[in-house]
Homo-oligomer: A and B are copies of this chain.
Amino acid sequence: MDKIKKNNAVVLLSGGMDSAVCLDYAIKAGYNIYSLHLNYGQRTESKELESFNNICDFYNIKNRLVVDTSFLTQIGGSSLTDSNIEISESQLGSGSIPNTYVPFRNANILAIATSWAEIIPAQAIYIGAMEQDSSGYPDCRKSFFSAFESAIALGTKPETEIRIITPIIDNTKSQIIKYGHKNGVPFNLTWSCYSNSDKACGHCESCILRKRGFKNAGINDPIEYY
């Protein structure tokens, strides 16, 4: 009559569409969910935190951790975290790394997730990175995640086994939108805009990727734009 013990997963949940879809994958894979949100001092943090909590409520997730990573702001050097640098209009397709890049952000995120995962203990970390639609961020590539997984295996206790799971790594934005639409992911609760917190600006890199994704998927975006 013992309950079957479910595995645990730490799911990185920013409040955006990608991580919401990623969460849906982790739930369908049967994991107990531990949601992790990072506040790294971005302009739209309060809106993203609201989205995080709304998405957790929607899926009835009780294990939530919000971590202050404002050291990334302190270190600076990025327009996402340094209010003295202007957000660039979309540079997509230019082949260069846009100035919204927070250096080595995913490594910081994964290191935090691993510390939590080792304590829980959790057997998986879900992260909603996409290699193709990632604006060229180097820490969104499969090769990076694979290298980090090796670092986890070597840098944690012998009994700890943690996999990094990137369910949407090969997807385009329009593919994750189609998946989410079909599976009831609450895109109305998600937030993508880098600039605004009331209505999405429609012009920043993240808004352009989102709008293009919905257009390519032939689905209406449920959020409002200026």
Contact = CB atoms under 8 A, between A and B. Distances in A.
Contacts of A168: none
Contact of A156 (B76, B103, B155): B103
Contacts of A69: 71
Nearest to A103: B118
B104 A118 contact: yes
A105 interface: yes
Contacts of A71: 67-69, 112
Interface in A98-121: 101-108, 110-112, 114-116, 118-119
A65 interface: yes
A1 interface: no
How many copies of this chain does the complex contain? Answer: 2
B77 A119 contact: yes
A81 to B, nearest CB: 10
Given A104-B115, A115-B103, A144 B148 contact: no
B150 A155 contact: no
Interface in A157-183: 157-158
A29 interface: no
Contacts of A65: 74-75
Interface string A129-141: 0000000001101
A114 to B, nearest CB: 5
Interface centre among A76, A111, A118, A157 (most CB of B within 10 A): A111
Interface in A65-96: 65, 67-72, 74-77
Interface of A: 65, 67-72, 74-77, 97, 101-108, 110-112, 114-116, 118-119, 138-139, 141, 143-144, 147-148, 150-158
Question: Which 5 A-B residue pairs are closest in the complex by CB-CB distance?
Answer: A77-B119, A139-B155, A103-B118, A147-B151, A67-B71
